Amino acid sequence: METLPPPARLAKDFLSVLDLGHADLERLLAIDPSRVEVVYPGVGPRFCPLPAETTAPVRRRLSLPDHFVLFVSTLEPRKNLVRLLEAFAQIVQTDNSNLHLVIAGRRGWLALIPGSSPLWAAASLPRGSDERAVLAS
């Protein structure tokens, strides 16, 4: 059993985002269960679908397709975007859907190294390129 780091010993209570984390705190660090509260991730009420008249100008300006999956994050290796591209390619090939993948975010720490990831070839496509060709390659 590990001991609590000094700053954690001063904590009145602990939050865990998973029941498993709650159990780990109790088991591995001998924290009294009454000091651990499980909180579940959620989405605030402001994150809800907007009316079409509100989104249409933005969709036109960004050339967004009708149906898409949106991934928003810093673009860096630890996000495993290559796997996202591979998984999305499988979905599109099997489903023959008109679904598109939209990736939004700033390039992260490894983006400055040329040729560091096949993701940058996909991320640097000119607008209007056929995403399916890139995803399948």
Rank 23-32, 81-90, 115-124 by mean pLDDT and report only the highest.
81-90
Residue-by-residue DSSP string for 37-97? EE------TT-SPPPHHHHHHHHHHTT--SSEEEEES-BSGGG-HHHHHHHHHHHHHHH--
pLDDT in tens, 31-80: 888 888 888 888 888 888 889 999 999 999 988 988 888 998 888 878 88
**Domain regions of the chain by residue span:** 11-38, 63-136
